[in-house]
A and B are shown apart, each in its own frame.
Chain A
């Protein structure tokens, strides 16, 4: 395998600014040098490469599209998307770490936090000195977060939280958890700091996917937090959904990165692997797989690019994000499955990476709005007829 150069069948690169290309190339080099050499071990051992967190912070990848006044890089949304693409070319778990830190936790504080909360948390999180997570999903409430049972009650000193959250990326690592809970039936956001009495993160075991990532349950048992830890501007289900839109935007780009890696490895393999005295790339059935992958990746790139420009212009809608997340994750998963198939027996080994992408993408298809839920969001939007109620 030579240096990863990406896939650019439609000269998509010409649509990016010089700054966006420099950002992509810097992250691409980092992923090649620092993530790829050790990612299979981390996946095997079910560990997040924590040693990379300060480096990711130094590069400026956490909350990269948030403003400079909070210590963030303030890059365009397209540049942010390219960062996600390159990170997920490495591993969906690493991209998830950065997505949750920036797209969910930092975005939540940025959108709904007080000035004091923003100043306290955002610069530290941008540098990677503090880690954040986002607790919305519950054991019995996934696609329907509005029916959550976690409650917050006002006390003389602050708020008393009770409930449980599940499938929380970075949950056991987080210095600050954004926990969504109902106050008199209305959803509000709260900052729960590591070590708070009554707050217990428990790492979830037995995952066959996203193994280089921390996934945890958060248990809140009479967990009392100060009054100032309420996110003052959070109000209703729309608040966490706004954060999810930001994170799903990143996923729409990230999935392309995983697909690109699968294609790149498949193409190299198809040229090198000889059967029946010919490279297997000369067989039409193999070429069909490669053509499908390249075409779907190209369509995904164009979808993501247009979405990014709309976001930069303030015109992006959450339903457009649903379309891109739904499509790009689905095609990435299909590319990974085809790559696994094309590589034959080698396709199931860690050495060739594609099965790791395939297993990861099963999670990516499900989290941040399942494929089917995004279908319903789009169906509702197109027809004007609710598909949920």
Chain B
């Protein structure tokens, strides 16, 4: 087990290194450079000033040289300076990461709990009215565009009912637990509704397949109670494909909640990465994307470890 984790960690480091080069190169291929955004519509930016700024920012160097300098600094813990926030990259990253963690962990946890409940309920009697209702809910969640769902929730709960704030992360001068919870409610609800549908479909499909297996029939013939049968035997076996999907989704959630973050003015990782790419903020975009890659790798590692726990026949060598 320890050897497996060590080997996978080393592989993750290699992937991160390769990804850093690929991302750096891809960002460099995009039109314009960081200074274009900075000097746009700036009457003071004469050609001489621009040339000097390019030298200051190291943009007069070829891309591989710039990457090499970045890598050396990164190995010393200096991930560079964010041009669009005028702060070191890690200083910008920390609050965005904290906000994303709050948003993602709550909505991911809620989605998983809801998906298991609904998926199992639907799988117990495929084609029944419960299954029909759950499928309708799941497909609605999958099909409804997130920005539209967010807007509807804002209009209903903030504009019409005045129950919850429409956006932001806290009230100035308050920022207590309840205040933060109130600001998190609508974005969490949006993300939860959007991701529960997909998870529910996977849980349902895996459970239906498992419930048809011989060992379930045997357990039922032996007189095992339905609740115990589902929870102890069927669900555990159905979890393996579901865990894979959830692990992949977890990584995506870290960088992919852009729409929800934008709609609710939650300054998290998705929005940070998106803004950094648009504004040609090389360092911030690079570190943000690398962090999202790292989360995906780690969640996959966690999924692999979970396989061994869920099915002891799977050996982690």
Decide whether A and B are members of one complex.
no
